[in-house]
Amino acid sequence: MKQTFLLFTISIFFFGIAEKGFSAIFYTVASGSWGTASKWSNTSCGGPQDASTAPSTGGADQVTICSGYTITATTLTINNAGSITVESGGQLNVTTLTLTNTSFVLTVNNGGTLKVGTFTNTTGNNHVLINGLMNVTNTFDNNATISGSGNIYFSNSGVHVGNTGTVFGETGNLCNPTPCYALPVELINFTAQINSRQVDLKWSTASEKNNDFFTIERSENGKLFETVNTIDGAGNSSTIRNYESVDAEPISGLSYYRLKQTDLNGLFSYSNIISIYLNGTDGLSVFPSPSSGNINVSVSGGKGKKVLLIIRNVLGSELYSKEILPDSDNSVQPLELSGLLAPGVYMISASSEDKMLEKKIVIR
């Protein structure tokens, strides 16, 4: 009887687990679609791409949108007790987001952005914490408690706003007497352009509200950013304003820039990340390395000159060659090598009529 009772107890235990389901942990390692497994890690932000599946669209998992990445989803219908956290510098874009599970937790940290077309919250709980930016473009229906120190913005006057719950302590119609907010800064563009050995950064705004200042940030890997410069904002403006700054000591090779906008109350948000490539002083740049196959080659000072590219193995045997004619001093030539080279170390040379350059590349 003891053995029978024990087996029965174990059966009930595992049945309960199967009913509830395990909650997996996911972190972004690249920007892209929610449903693509290669965008996720099960380890950590900045960890390896080791997820074999994408997170559930039903909220069963613990999901973190890490800094520097933007994830896009069409429909998330949350009926499980998981969580989504958007970290500072991260962004989640969802066409339709519906929260129905009372135990699910949604958090947007300061500097993080949640952009949603249609938002419906029927949970009745207080597990939605907006400390960053939430931008609604179509419909906002809330009958729960939304708390935090961030901002919820309705991108146009046509947004349906319904609130039978509490949002930042306000009940009832959020647009009367309190006006529906426009975005603090409506960014038109943000560009980076090489100018000799410096990078010119320019951006424009269509409107600004309580805008304190902009910070230009730069990164070597698109994840860890440092401050390049700070430019004062206009405060409040309803006309187009143009801004510019210079990175006088840019990073050689591939680098990334983003614009951080800070409100007068200390809240901040980020622009999309842009990249630029600046030739190194040795004249030959190859990236990425290590590479899974395809690489990009840039030869400085090679404008209008025929350049012969040759890849050799460590024994000196020629495995690949191609002649290119760069149309500018900063042009990048892609080489499609997938399937041609086995994993290992190779040497690539670039020779023209007046010079010969060489670099090591790694294929993994």
In whole angstroms, what is the distance from residue 312 CA to residue 356 CA?
15
The pLDDT assigned to 58 comes to 92
Fold of 284-363: Immunoglobulin-like (2.60.40)
Using pLDDT thresholds of 50, 70 and 90, give the confidence band for residue 333. Answer: confident
Residues 6+ apart with CB under 8 A from 165: 121, 124, 142, 143, 144, 145, 146, 171
Mean pLDDT of 92-120: 93
* 354 pLDDT above the threshold of 80: no
pTM for the full predicted model: 0.64
The string of pLDDT tens digits covering residues 17-71 is 333 344 799 999 999 999 999 999 999 998 889 999 999 999 899 999 999 899 9
Q: Are 269 and 89 in contact (CB under 8 A)?
A: no
According to the model, what pLDDT value does residue 240 have? 93
Query: Where exactly are the structural domains of the chain?
Result: 24-171, 185-278, 284-363
**With 0-12 CB in 10 A as exposed, 13-18 as middle and 19+ as buried, what is 143?**
middle
CA distances from 27 to 10, 95, 96, 333 (A): 33, 21, 21, 33
Q: Note the pLDDT of residue 280.
A: 58
Write the CATH number of the domain with boundaries 185-278: 2.60.40.10
Question: Which among 262, 281, 279 is positioned nearest to 270, based on CA atoms?
Answer: 262
Fold agreement between 185-278 and 284-363: yes
Average pLDDT over residues 183-203: 87
What 3-state DSSP class applies to 299?
strand
* Residue 187 Cα to chain centre, angstroms: 17
Mean pLDDT for 95-109 is: 93
Residue-wise pLDDT for 216-271, tens only, equals: 999 988 888 999 999 999 999 989 999 999 998 888 778 899 999 998 888 888 88
**Cα–Cα separations (whole angstroms), residue 6 to 1, 3, 11, 20, 215:** 9, 5, 9, 21, 63
